[in-house]
Structure 1
Amino acid sequence: MALKKILHIIPTTDFGGITSMVVDIWTNTNKSMYHFDFLSFNKGQYHETLVQQGSKIFYETYITQQGPLAYMRKLYRILKQQQYDAVHDHTGYRAIFTLLAARLAGVQCRVLHSHTNVAEEWNNKIMLALLKRLSVYNATKLVACSQKAGEFCFSKRPFEVIANPIELQKVKCISFEERKKWREELGIKDDELVLGHIGRFVPVKNHSFLIELSVYLKQRGIPFQLFLIGDGPLEQEIHQLVQQKNVEDCVRFLGQRADILTLLQLFDKFLLPSHFEGFGIVLLEAQVCGTPAIVSSSLPREVDLHIGLVHYLDLHGEIDSWLQAIVTQNGQVDHQMIHDHIKMKGLDAQAIASKLCTLYI
């Protein structure tokens, strides 16, 4: 088979669920059969990784800034010059202008990939419905990371679910001594519970709930440290909320980190109170690291390995139920059993890469 060239449209080359997924898939793709290039709107930490793997990366300003026609003209020119066999857009219902440009450029395979089941920034339901319909109309294949994400973007149209993968080779289990050393370096006391959250500071991640939970834990005399990892537009607002609620001594901001899989192993509990998640790759990473997770009941169940590490709770229920789940002791974790479950469910990066590449045949 001749080498197939695919252009992936991703929001950013910085750390994040979509980018991590695409990087893991590209790492595990047969490069004698497929070549991936990327178009993105924000340069980030994964840029060099992708370049080292031989990819071209085209950066564009946001469509809202340059206008859809200017964006389409530039993309049309790129598609004609590079002669791509497929365009794979990971921006969901925002894909209309990408897919229309690809259609006009004669690209026969146009993949629309939904990674979310919510559109917080769109209050205009008519406009949102129109964007979805036009994006779907200009796609030739529909894919979603979960059943909910597909139903949200594609409504009743048939689609294929391809879960976000985990790169098992990236998970290096740390020893008890290493864990103790890390905790000492972070200033964690022996009697303190270590709670962690990983996610952008945006409304859907529900950081304000974590701060209210911190207040409750402190009032009940629970010794703990909550580590918030990530950045985003609401970070300063959450900083201010932490100060207002007087929990600066037990809430820590670590910013963007490249050592997520190590930090997850330091946590006694991982917290994910999101209002919505398309898939929740970080929850899969937590399970692979053997870290018990307490999460919102709104999360898709596809990410649960069903090995007893995920505890679902209602965001509208009693906050004390979160406290009880936090202080409950969990048993020992068999890491080999976790890896076996990942492979059994077909969630390892090699299996997902092979499945994804069948879209381009």
Structure 2
Amino acid sequence: MEKINVLVLITVMDRAGAETMMMNYLRHIDRGKIHMDFLINRPGRADYEDEVEKLDSKIYHMCALYPGKFRRYRREFRRFLEEHNDYDVIHSNLEEKSYYALKIAQEMGIKVRIVHAHSAPKGHDLKMIMRLYFRKKMHKYCTHRVACGEKAAKWLFGDDINIVSMEEYVEKSNSIDSMSYDGMENKTVVIMKNAIDTKKFRHSDNERKNIRTELGIDEKTLIIGHVGRFVPVKNQSFLIDIFKYVNNIQNNSRLLLIGGGNSKEEISYKQEIQNKVKKLGLEDRVIFTGVREDVNNLMEAMDIFVMPSLSEGFPVTLVEAQAAGLRCLVSDNVQNDVNLTGEIQYKALEDGEEEWGEKVLEMVNIKIDMFEMEKRVKKAGFDISDNVKLLKEFYVLASRGK
């Protein structure tokens, strides 16, 4: 089999959900059979770029995919494909904004054009009107549809779809000669799991002690943890309110906020959160770690993971938190199928910070078998070792017209 060249379209290779998921697959895929390059829509150097290049993949930059730059984007993308005409597969993580790229890719003869759904947004504003327009136009130009979960799949591809696992898809595709993928008629959406290297998140008492020592926190201190970009949808502002309530009752507590972001929106929102922390007099209680490579180690220090998001797709961080054996309290905006261990507890944002705070204090007293949780994540099929083999086979089958 000749090597299959895949061009991954993604906004930026920072340490966020979709990016971390693609990195997990890149690290473990058979790079002798599948070569992956990345085309991103940001000019600056991003978190994962050094590692991508060490894995013999290339990173290319082009203009942002903003309304005022659509014409420039089309021009630059066409020129890029003219100059790099050896790609067999386009794997777009741009969701509905994949429209322009896939249309051009079709015109230029790239036969495999994959759209990947990662999220299910809420709300209705001018931005949403544009998203709905692109969503309608995009379907004609994609040949294969994948999603992180059912909620994201239905938002991007509609309710009238046939959702199958990657394993089922590969098995069935291998049993027939060919499959039709007319973009207007095909309703199959393949679930590509947000898989992780579960071994990295296996609990270690020694690592817990070491990371707490690094943070200057003793073993008796309650640590509430959160991992996410600083954007309003992650709702860190409400998390500060929850922590304030907990800290008023249990003064020996800390909030660990892991993550960052380089866009204007992310920088602005993080500053807003930092100002709120200062106003509430919690500067010595809330730790902003910034972007870290060792999220697995930082999770060892936590007692509970809290995610009060306004909207989510299928969060990689929740898969990681469960593999690390953490108690997890999340908003009911997070879909139920991410509850791989049966241990996640859900709460409505409308319940307010007091009820959330009480739930946190209740949950930290519940005993939990950390090693059993890792086993459940693996049993649910979310270890990267199995999933990366399926992705390789998926690319092979797609390249053969299946």
Q: State the shift of 1:313 in Å.
A: 1.1
Note the alpha carbon deviations across 1:63-120, whole angstroms, 9 max, x for none: 2287223322332233243321110100111111111121111111100101110166
Match of 1:89 among 92, 98, 104: 92
Partner amino acid, structure 2, of 1:3: K
With normalisation by structure 1, the TM-score equals 0.92
Q: Which runs of 4+ in 1 moved over 4 A?
A: 119-122
- For the pair 1:50 / 2:80, whether they are aligned, the reply is no
Secondary structure of the residue that 2:389 maps to in structure 1?
A: helix
Q: Which runs of 5+ in 2 are unaligned?
A: 162-186, 398-402
CA distance in 2, matches of 1:69, 1:320: 49
Task: Please say if residues 63 and 69 of structure 2, whose CA atoms lie closer than 8 Å, have aligned partners that are also in contact.
Answer: no
Q: Which has the higher contact order (CA 8 A, sep 6+)?
A: 2
Q: State the shift of 1:237 in Å.
A: 0.5
- For the pair 1:284 / 2:319, whether they are aligned, the reply is yes
Q: State the shift of 1:124 in Å.
A: 4.8
- For the pair 1:4 / 2:27, whether they are aligned, the reply is no
2:156 corresponds in structure 1 to 153
Match of 1:136 among 139, 157, 163: 139
2:23 corresponds in structure 1 to 23
Shift in CA distance, 124/40, structure 1 to aligned 2, threshold 3 Å = closer
With normalisation by structure 2, the TM-score equals 0.83
Shift in CA distance, 301/265, structure 1 to aligned 2, threshold 3 Å = same
Match of 1:219 among 241, 245, 248: 248
Note the alpha carbon deviations across 1:265-287, whole angstroms, 9 max, x for none: 11011111101111011011011
Partner amino acid, structure 2, of 1:110: R
- For the pair 1:331 / 2:367, whether they are aligned, the reply is yes
**Bigger CA drift: 23-32 or 104-113?**
23-32
CA distance in 2, matches of 1:284, 1:76: 37
CA distance in 1, matches of 2:128, 2:325: 41
Note the alpha carbon deviations across 1:326-356, whole angstroms, 9 max, x for none: 2231324242x33432332221112222333
Match of 2:353 among 319, 331, 355: 319
Secondary structure of the residue that 1:67 maps to in structure 2?
A: helix
CA distance in 2, matches of 1:105, 1:319: 53
Secondary structure of the residue that 1:195 maps to in structure 2?
A: strand
* Identity within the alignment, %: 29
Shift in CA distance, 154/302, structure 1 to aligned 2, threshold 3 Å = same
The CA RMSD over aligned residues, in Å, is: 2.1
Shift in CA distance, 334/271, structure 1 to aligned 2, threshold 3 Å = closer
Matches within 5 A, 1:37-116: 37-42=37-42, 43-64=45-66, 67-80=69-82, 81-116=84-119
Secondary structure of the residue that 1:30 maps to in structure 2?
A: coil
Q: State the shift of 1:146 in Å.
A: 0.9
Partner amino acid, structure 1, of 2:204: I
Q: State the shift of 1:4 in Å.
A: 1.0
Q: State the shift of 1:190 in Å.
A: 4.4
Matches within 5 A, 1:249-260: 249-260=284-295
CA distance in 2, matches of 1:239, 1:121: 28
- For the pair 1:188 / 2:222, whether they are aligned, the reply is no
- For the pair 1:248 / 2:278, whether they are aligned, the reply is no
Note the alpha carbon deviations across 1:203-256, whole angstroms, 9 max, x for none: 110011111112222333443100111113210011111122222232121111
Q: Which runs of 5+ in 1 are unaligned?
A: none
